[in-house]
Copies of this chain bind each other. A is one copy, B any other.
Amino acid sequence: MSDMVKVGIAAYGITPFTKNDQKIESSLLESTKNLFDDNPKIDRNDIDAVLVSTNNNSKYLSPILSEMAGIQPKIAHSIESLCNSGTNSIVSAYSYIASGLADVVLISGAERYDSPGQILDWDNSRGEFKHPIFWASIFTKSYKREYHISDEQLALVSVKNHKHAKNNPNAISNKTYTIEDVMNSKKLTDDLKLLDCSRPCTGSASIILASEETTKKLTDSPVWITGIGQKITSAGFTKNKSLSSMESTKLAGNSALQMAKHNISDIDVVEVHDAFSVCEPMALESLGFVNIGNGTSMIRELYDTNNFKVNPRGGLIGSGHPLGATGIAQTIEITQQLQSIAGKRQVDNAKIGLVHNMSAAATSSTVLVLEK
């Protein structure tokens, strides 16, 4: 990796996350249009690549979005890797710019509430239990048993993230809940209640990456991608080393921090992939924010001190989880935090942030480090 290459976030746009029936093409266009409306300096003719992040089955979405948005790029295709499609697309965009093949890349992610990415048909080891709540349930049981954690301690993740989402105008949730509300919500499995789960929804998020020189021209508050880490340990979750920690997250996190030349203690604000409540403490532990088994204690302390450091936009549980858009929305949130424009969600003095995204029971993870 050349130390001279710097890739920045030059612009972004997002839609509300909802349960509406919007077509995928329309959703992609809406966040792209919001991006252009908010960033009049960007010339569509300068966009070299358009990457679409989605699990939607529609084909040729990137040229379709390009035509609708008035862009004639050199590079255009869709990228799919379940839940972490968005961050994978951001890394691909980074590589196009760092290689010199592109100077400005638009990444647009979208999903509909009925995404085919929700049912894990390909994992035969799951038998009849192809919905992600089943691995999440196994993770929850394993995590609780191994570290003596209660359902109430995990419920606090949902309480905290719904509280954060209340300050996120694009979140699907506008309600706050108590631990009792979570405990009394519909029981889905022995270990999971409805409010422990993120909700599939319709939504889109778009972001523009550019070379150092161009980023500086396009924005007065550049944010730079200084660390990238990715790891795939398997596809089927039964191959996971452990059911109460995230091996791929640990490896991806270490790589990203090493590239950024930072320690985890340097991170001021973080988006982690809380598809289910248990994922948040597990991710915080696997990233090294806190010792193994102590994730819920960290979450309790943050909640008690009204500290928005972890999942300020409300995470997946509070914001909703439109698969292909999620990683991009996470990256936008950290960017806004570093730009100090996150309003009521703002973490004090945020200079270095981290994005954690994963797919399919953490069989793969992507971690980004962002700096202003």
Contacts and interface: CB of A to CB of B under 8 A. Distances in A.
Contacts of A297: none
A255 B82 contact: no
Contacts of A57: 57, 116
A94 B101 contact: yes
Interface string A229-245: 11111111001000000
Given A60-B122, A82-B60, A88-B77, A72 B116 contact: no
Interface string A94-136: 1111111110000000000000110011100000000000000
Contacts of A96: 92, 95, 99
Interface string A61-97: 1111011000011111111111001001101101111
A296 interface: no
Nearest to A74: B230
Nearest to A81: B77
A326 interface: no
A217 B27 CA distance: 47
A232 B122 contact: no
How many of these chains are in the complex?
2
Contact of A85 (B50, B55, B77, B122): B77
Interface stretch (A189-197, A272-280, A304-312, A359-367): A359-367
A50 B230 CA distance: 12
A151 interface: no
Nearest to A97: B99
Report which residue of A58, A94, A236, A364 has the largest number of chain B beta carbons within 10 angstroms of its beta carbon: A364
B63 A360 contact: yes
Contacts of A364: 63, 76
Nearest to A101: B95
A58 B5 CA distance: 36
A25 B122 contact: yes
A76 B359 CA distance: 11
A231 B239 CA distance: 41
A2 interface: yes
Contacts of A76: 81, 88, 230, 232, 364
A235 B67 contact: yes
Nearest to A66: B232
A228 interface: yes
Given A63-B232, A72-B232, A95 B88 contact: no
Given A77-B85, A85-B77, A122-B60, A101 B98 contact: yes
Interface of A: 1-2, 5, 25, 50, 55, 57-64, 66-67, 72-82, 85, 88-89, 91-92, 94-102, 116-117, 120-122, 228-236, 239, 252, 255, 359-360, 363-364
Q: Sorted from nearest, which 10 A-B pairs have the closest CB atoms?
A: A98-B99, A77-B81, A1-B100, A63-B235, A95-B99, A64-B235, A95-B95, A99-B99, A74-B230, A67-B235
